[in-house]
Amino acid sequence: MKRRGNFDDAFRAWASRPAGVDVRRLVSAVRGQDHAPALGIRLRPVWATLAAVAFVLASGASWWSRTQAPRETPPPLHATGPIVPSPESDVVVVWIDDETPVYMFLNDATER
Amino acid sequence: MALARSEILDAGAGILTRVHDPPCCDTLSTVTSQIGDLAAARRGDPEAFGRLIEARLARLARLARSIVGDADAADVTQESCLACWRHLGQLDDLTKFDNWLMRIVYTTGLRRARWQRMRALVFAAPSSSDGGREPAQPAADPTDGIFVWEALSRLPARQRAVLHLTVVEGLTDSEIAATLGIRAGSVRAHRRRARETVESLWNNAS
């Protein structure tokens, strides 16, 4: 087939142009990887890849479960303990819970 | 340790089967030096590796060019050579070095071609009438090198590789199958489809 022959010739001519890769640059790039495994050492061991994949999966699952879980609305604030007037008459302590006191300082209207 | 000529030639036969450049490489001294370079490269000698690659560079670059085109061929060739260096210690059978190296270029080229396709999908200009899905029509002159790439770019990367190894390298089906790691039947199927596509483009362009 004449046409096929023409395409094949054009293909050969097109593919066979000079490589455009400098061997000296390639060797210096190879030398730059002198710890790399011509000696059979893997640059990135399998366990590192597996650990990275496991970490990504765990992070994704954690994020997804957090987005899917119903949001807990914080309970409304209310005093759990008795309102204890301090010895000074202008300070009132309100206990929100066992560890959270709220001090309210009462000023006289004349001080404003 | 001195080896008999026949022993050296036997050992080097597989290594040098497909090396066409330079043409005199089937001499005894070349075979011996190639075996020595391969052994030295496996021990971590970059100069020996450079000599091995230099003898095969044109062939590697041709395959890379046919799979990914001019723009990325040098990158793919270099990336493949570095991958070869990194994994040279894992090569069990030294007689398969050439096929192994070509396979690295092929797989690296496939990855790059996939990336090119994704890039084209993402960044395709939406103004074309067909939505940017089809590449431009091949150049009018079929003898032009631009036409060759325009035609090749219509083919899947595997078909490009099979067509390249058939037309440019002149390999048989079983050699192509061994190089690409596919069955000879698949080679024939890929080539037939590639030929059909290229011929229809060729006829339209003429």
Put simply, the answer to whether B85 touches A36 (Cβ < 8 Å) is yes
The complex scores an ipTM of 0.72
pLDDT at B166 over 90: yes
Chain B residues with CB-CB distance to A11 below 8 A: 66, 148, 152, 163-164, 167-168
Please give the angle made by the CA atoms of A34, A40 and A45, to the nearest 5 degrees: 90
List CB contacts (< 8 A) between B151 and chain A: 7
Pick the residue of A21, A25, A44 with the most B CBs within 10 A to test the interface with B by mutation. A21
Instruction: Give buried/exposed letters for A48-87 (b at 16+ CB in 10 A, else e).
Output: eeeeeeeeeeeeeeeeeeeeeeeeeeeeeeeeeeeeeeee
pTM above the 0.90 mark? Answer: no
Helix (H), strand (E), coil (C) string for chain A: CHHHHHHHHHHHHHHCCCCCCCHHHHHHHHHCCCCCHHHCCCCCCHHHHHHHHHHHHHHHHHHHHHHHCCCCCCCCCCCCCCCEECCCCCEEEEEEECCEEEEEECCCHHHC
pLDDT tens, residue by residue, B75-129? 899 889 888 988 888 887 777 888 899 999 999 999 998 888 888 888 765 544 4
Contact (CB<8Å) B53/A4: no
Give the pLDDT confidence of B6-45 residue by residue, as tens digits. 555 555 555 554 444 444 445 666 667 778 888 888 888 8
In this predicted model, which residue has the larger pLDDT, B159 or A26? Answer: B159
Q: Which residues of B touch A33 (CB under 8 A)?
A: 82, 85-86
- Residue A80's pLDDT band (boundaries 50, 70, 90)? low
- Cα separation of B110 and B128, whole Å? 27
Q: Which amino acid is at B107?
A: T
